[in-house]
Amino acid sequence: MKVKFWGVRGSIASPGPHTVRYGGNTTCIEIRTDNNELIILDAGTGIFPLSQTLLTELPVQANVFITHSHWDHIQGLPFFIPNFIPGNLLRLHGAFDPVSGKGVEQVMSVQLQYSYFPVREAEMKARIEYVTLAPEQPIQVGSATITPYLLNHPVINFGYRIESHGKSMFFTGDHEPPYNIYEPGDAEYAEYQAFVDEKQTAILKAVQGVDVLIADTSYTAQEYPAKKGWGHGTFESSIQVARQAGARVLYCTHHEPTRSDDALEAAFAQALADNPAPPADKTEIRLAREGDSYEF
């Protein structure tokens, strides 16, 4: 299995001289199985450069899995070049939206309103299909089994576990570790803590034993209190989960868009210093970088 990063920034694209080493595109990850089946996780601005490389292997059959519908994870979809070429297939997977009462097709229909984009879906030449997923109900894409897990974010957010040929990976999308919304002295504290503990156990089980964990590490421990409830994790929270789950490699991603490459490396180094590996730990921890690949 091969993982390639096409976008690693969070919230908004941030190109420029201070982000050139790690990249300014928003979330997009290319997965190739050992059979070369194409799976794309999220469709931020990084999906546009990815789509340019796909023109060498037409016709394209792309299975895109959307973690959630915030702009930085979907805004590249209208610019996915194979959509404009006959013979290609885009199969878009994602969650049902309980607010609108619509499935994943809403991700495209909202963006392709004529007020916001000049090409309507009916004018696109490729075939576009929609698959609305249910939590913990696996689906098959060629040799790969993909299971969505409900994680913690202000909208419905799926983390995805992908398994193929005995190899596995997990991508959290945007995820903030669940926490107790009550104070210890409140009557509701104990009951809610039981819910938090149950959710944490379920997440750890979903991630258990993966070869690669790609996790939302937007904030440092010092920044997090001011961002609590925004739906994002920290270096520390992701390192902890990776080690508890026995992940072989952790990629820290969804980099804060205001953080320069130098500041990102400094924050990462500080997080590693503050969270030294226990003696038996074998998890390798890396910063996700646009353009980097990892094959396992």
DSSP bridge pairs for 252: 215, 287
Phi and psi for 50 in degrees, rounded to 5? Answer: -60, -45
User: For residues 226 and 215, what is the distance between their CA atoms, to the nearest angstrom?
Assistant: 20
User: Is 128 exposed, middle or buried (CB count within 10 Å of its CB: 0-12, 13-18, 19+)?
Assistant: middle
Q: Which residues of 161-185 are buried (b: 16+ CB within 10 A; e: fewer)?
A: bbbbeebbbbbbbbbbbbebeeeee
Share of the chain above pLDDT 90, in %: 98
User: For residues 256 and 271, what is the distance between their CA atoms, to the nearest angstrom?
Assistant: 15
Q: Quote the pLDDT of residue 81.
A: 98
CATH numeric code, 2-295: 3.60.15.10
At 147-179, the pLDDT tens digits run 999 999 999 999 999 999 999 999 999 999 999
At residue 176, the 3 state secondary structure works out as coil
pLDDT band of residue 88 (cuts 50, 70, 90) is very high
* Alpha helices, H only, the chain: 47-53, 105-111, 189-207, 224-227, 235-245, 261-274
Q: Quote the pLDDT of residue 29.
A: 99
Question: Quick one: CA dihedral 47, 267, 260, 232, positive or negative?
Answer: positive
At 19-42, the pLDDT tens digits run 999 999 999 999 999 999 999 999
User: For residues 224 and 230, what is the distance between their CA atoms, to the nearest angstrom?
Assistant: 9
Single-letter residue type at 166 = G
Summarize the confidence of residues 43-58 as an average pLDDT.
98
Question: Quick one: CA dihedral 101, 218, 250, 290, positive or negative?
Answer: positive
At residue 170, the 3 state secondary structure works out as strand
Q: How many helices (H) and strands (E) does the chain have?
A: 6, 14
At 102-135, the pLDDT tens digits run 999 999 999 999 999 999 998 999 999 999 999 9
pLDDT band of residue 290 (cuts 50, 70, 90) is very high
Tell me if 152 sits within 8 A of 168, measured CB to CB: no
User: For residues 196 and 201, what is the distance between their CA atoms, to the nearest angstrom?
Assistant: 9
At residue 1, the 3 state secondary structure works out as coil
- pTM here is 0.96
